[in-house]
Structure 1
Amino acid sequence: MTDLTLLLLRGGFLLVMWLFVLAVVFALRADLFGSRARKLPEPQPARTAAPAAPSTPPTPTPSVATTGPATTSTVSRIVITSGPKAGLEVPLGTDPLTIGRSSEAGLVIRDDYTSGHHARLVLWGEQWMIQDLDSTNGTMHDGVRVASSAPVAVQTGAPIKVGATTFELRK
C-alpha cells in the first residue's frame, strides 16, 4: 500500500469514529432532556367586514364559582379539564376517591407523571379534602403544592393538578 492510501484510510476511520461518538452524544442528550417540541404558529383571526351596527360586547359569565369550600351540598362531581381524559365527569359519592395510575384507583389516569396511588379525595365531615399520597411529582391545588402530611380543603372550581391532568370539583 502506498503512503497516500494508508493516510486516506486512517483519516476515513477517524472520521467514522467521530461520527459514532457524536451519534452517541446526541442519543444521550435526547434521552436525558427529551426532544425539542416545535411551536405551532398562532392561529390568525379571520378577517371580517366591518359590522354595520355596533353591538354590545358579551359579558363573560363564570361557569363555576371559584369561591367557597367544596362541600357535599356545593359539589357532586369531579370534572377533568385537561389531560388525557379531558371532558370526563365522575360523580362523587361519600367514599374516598383514590387518583392514580394503578388499576386499583377509583380514577385511573395513565400518564408518565402520575404515581400508582397519587392522591386521594376524602370527605371529611361535609368538606372535601385532597391528600397527596407521597407521589413523586406532587399534587397541586389552586397552584399550591399539597403536603403529604396533611389533607387540604378543596375549594369549589379550584384546579387540582395530578401529573399532566387537571380537574375541578363542580356541582
Structure 2
Amino acid sequence: MPIALLTLLKLVLLALLYLFLVQAIRAVTADLYGPRRRPSSPRPAVAGSSSKRSNRRPPRELVVHPPDGRPSVIPLRDEAVTLGRSERMTVTLDDVYVSDEHAIVAPNGDGWVVRDLGSTNGTYLNGAKVSQATPVAAGDQVRIGKTRVEVRR
C-alpha cells in the first residue's frame, strides 16, 4: 500500500475517534444535566405577579410526570400539596434527585404559590430557580429533581 493512502486512513481513523469522543461527552453531559431546552417564553420567578398572570383563573390540578412512570393528576383543593421522597408528603416522588421534603404548592389568596423547602437540588419554575414563594398559574412547569409537575386549570 502506498504511504499516502496509509496516512489518509490514519487521519480518517483519528477523525472518527474524535467524533466518537465528542458524542460520548455529549451523552454524559445530557445524562447529568438533562437535555438543553430553549425557553419558549421566559417568565421571571419572583414573588410579584404580572397583570397578565393575575387576570387568569387559578389552577385546579397538578399533573406529576415522574422520569420513569405514568403521569398522575393531583387535584388542588383548599390545602397545600407537599412534594418529596418522604412518605409524610402529600405526593411521594421516587426520584433520587428529590429531597425528603422538597417543595410545597400552597394556596395564597385567590391563587397558588410554589416554595422550595430547603432542598438540596432546588425547585425550578419555568426554568428559573425558586428562592421564595412564587405564584403559579395554569400552564406553568415546575421541575423537582428529574420530575416535572405541570400546573393545569
**TM-score interval for Structure 1 and Structure 2 normalised by the shorter chain:** 0.5 to 0.7
Residue-by-residue CA offset, 1:59-80 (whole Å, 9 max, x unaligned): xxxxxxxx73597x43211012
Partner of 2:63 in structure 1? 79
TM-score normalized with structure 2 length: 0.62
| Deviating 4+ runs (over 3 angstroms) | none
Write the distance in 1 (CA, Å) between the matches of 2:54 and 2:66: 22
SS at match of 1:74: coil
Write the distance in 1 (CA, Å) between the matches of 2:123 and 2:140: 13
Partner of 2:42 in structure 1? none
1:103–1:165 CA distance, 2 compared to 1 (3 A): same
Partner of 2:112 in structure 1? 128
Residue-by-residue CA offset, 1:85-133 (whole Å, 9 max, x unaligned): 4421111111111100000000110111000000001101111000000
Write the distance in 2 (CA, Å) between the matches of 1:110 and 1:92: 21
Task: Report how many residues are paired.
Answer: 106
Alignment partner for residue 98 of structure 1, among 63, 76, 82?
82
The percent identity for this pair of structures is 28
1:159–1:166 contact (8 Å) kept in structure 2: yes
Partner of 2:95 in structure 1? 111
> Can you give the 5+ residue segments of structure 1 that lack an aligned partner in the other structure?
1-34, 40-66
> Can you give the 5+ residue segments of structure 2 that lack an aligned partner in the other structure?
1-26, 32-51
TM-score normalized with structure 1 length: 0.56
**Higher share of residues assigned helix:** 2
Which is higher, the Rg of structure 1 or of structure 2? 1
Write the distance in 2 (CA, Å) between the matches of 1:156 and 1:97: 16
CA RMSD of aligned residues (A): 2.5
1:69–1:82 CA distance, 2 compared to 1 (3 A): farther
Partner of 2:53 in structure 1? 68
